[in-house]
Amino acid sequence: MAEPSDYSSLSEDDECSDPLEVAASGAGARLGTPEKASFSGKRKVHTNPAEKKRNVRGSVNPNVSAWDRVNEFKHQCLTTVSGNLRCDACRETLSKKKSSVKKHISSINYIKALENIKKSKKKDQNIKDLLAKTSRGAKGSTLPEDMRLYRYELVEVLLRAGIPLLKVDSLRPFLEKYGHRLTSRNHLAEFIPMIRQKEIDFVKSEIAANSAFSVIFDGSTRLGETLAIIVRFIDKDWNIQQRLLKLEILAKSMNAEELAQRLIQCLAVEYGMQPNHLLAARRDGTSVNEAGLCQVMFFFPNILNVICFSHTIDNVGKHFEFSVLDTFSRCWNTMFSLSPAAWLLWKTRTGTAMRLHSKTRWWSKWEVLNQVMEFFGNVEPFLRENDNRSPVCRTSLLEIFDDPATARDLDVELAAMIDAGKHFVQATYYLEGDGPLVFTCYERLSALAHAIAIESYPNTEAKARQHAGRNMALYNQLVAQAKACINPGFHFYQQKFSVQFHNIVI
């Protein structure tokens, strides 16, 4: 008897399937569709209902022409385009019906559009004057004014939108289709110094019109040293304004003397700020900022030296001392940062993507651990099921769960971290804002101090009660052990805001 064919056992559905898929399956191939990201949505074109009657704006009326309406309303911004009536101020096509035209030119949008045109003409004239003054003898200075104005405004818009000039060469065919002729990006880059000078002149006029400022400065040492200097002030309408005065890239980190020189050069020399107009300075708590600001205060004697409260409160978490949780947190964050597959498996299991730790985001570690506590029942099964993901980190994490004592301590310490850090996290992000925090800062810090004083640890006490059962001695031991881990952070906060910053807070 002949042996049955390999395909004789296929079902009817298999026989109707694609022969290539059958062949691939028979050859042992395992083809799978990768999971799409949650934000990869489908796009569709929205259409109007078919039964709805559509009115075509600007449709041809045999009784009157668009040119007749233009002549009838001579002093309005009306014109004709392809036989249709168009409003140049609002940039839209209008109906040629007389009552519709009257209604449009009396509308609020049309009046605002006329005001914007007047402002735009004034702005354009200022730019033309600037180009005439700063571009004498330069390449392209003999081109028509409108063409140079168009190129200037194009570069200004691209800079404001964060679009690199190297993309202009790709956009050039479209930009030239409805506007003036352009040039290469190398020539367009020549407008950047003029745009920068225009912005500097505008900020100088704002500084000259106000008499009370605060300065914020900070640096980044990732690649050399990047110094940023920002001023804040209240305008005549009582709105808080913020302006970037300097963003300077230096070859190395500055010392106190160099920092003081850059601050005085920027504020006093370049922007002409008077000594009695600078009322406050805000910065982080590094020693070089403190020493540099002390030298700046010789020129600006009215400065109130304010260390960033959010930076200080964020440092509270660095003073918590956990014996088991620190090891767990380090291995857990390493596993997810190095393995996207582990991140996806966790999301598949829990339905929520695991947060990733960031050294530059305030209380990032607390946010990660808060999510771990929310899904703590899934942590150990997740580690035991996925034995091929981050073997070194997985082994270290499982050692914690294999020992009942360390697993218990991890559960209690995790709860203590969440209970203690919650109030600090909320205060940090609240004080990070740009609003008038001076009126509410004291109340917020007082509420934080009150939360520390009452020693409310609901999650910690619940976990200790769960592990201790009816053993009150063990319960008290676990609670005391958890509080001992977070007390160094509390002492740091009280030392800063009750002693070092006491005069500023009061």
Each residue of 49-79: pLDDT tens digit? 766 665 555 454 556 788 888 888 887 888 8
Whether the full predicted model's pTM is greater than 0.85, yes or no, is no
Q: Which fold has domain 210-306?
A: Nucleotidyltransferase; domain 5 (3.30.420)
Strand runs (DSSP E) across 42-198, as ranges? 78-81, 84-87, 92-94
- Hey, what amino acid is at 409? D
The residue among 213, 256, 247 whose CA lies nearest residue 232 is: 213
Three-point CA angle 363, 368, 369, nearest 5° = 95
Euclidean distance between CA atoms 41 and 34, whole angstroms: 15
User: Is the pLDDT higher at 222 or at 272?
Assistant: 272
What are the pLDDT digits (tens) for 324-355? 999 999 999 999 888 888 889 999 899 888 88
SS (H, E, C) 199-264: HHHHHHHHHHCCCCEEEEEEEECCCCEEEEEEEEEECCCCCEEEEEEEEEEECCCCCHHHHHHHHH
pLDDT, position 4? 47
Residues of the chain within CATH 3.30.420 domain(s) are 210-306
Q: Which DSSP category does 37 fall into?
A: P
- How does the average pLDDT of the chain come out, rounded? 83
Cβ atoms within 10 Å, residue 490: 19
Q: Which contiguous run of DSSP H or E holds residue 407?
A: helix 404-431
Pairing verdict, β 304-307 and 278-283: parallel
Burial 314-336 (b: 16+ CB within 10 A, else e): bbbbeebebebbebbbebbbebb
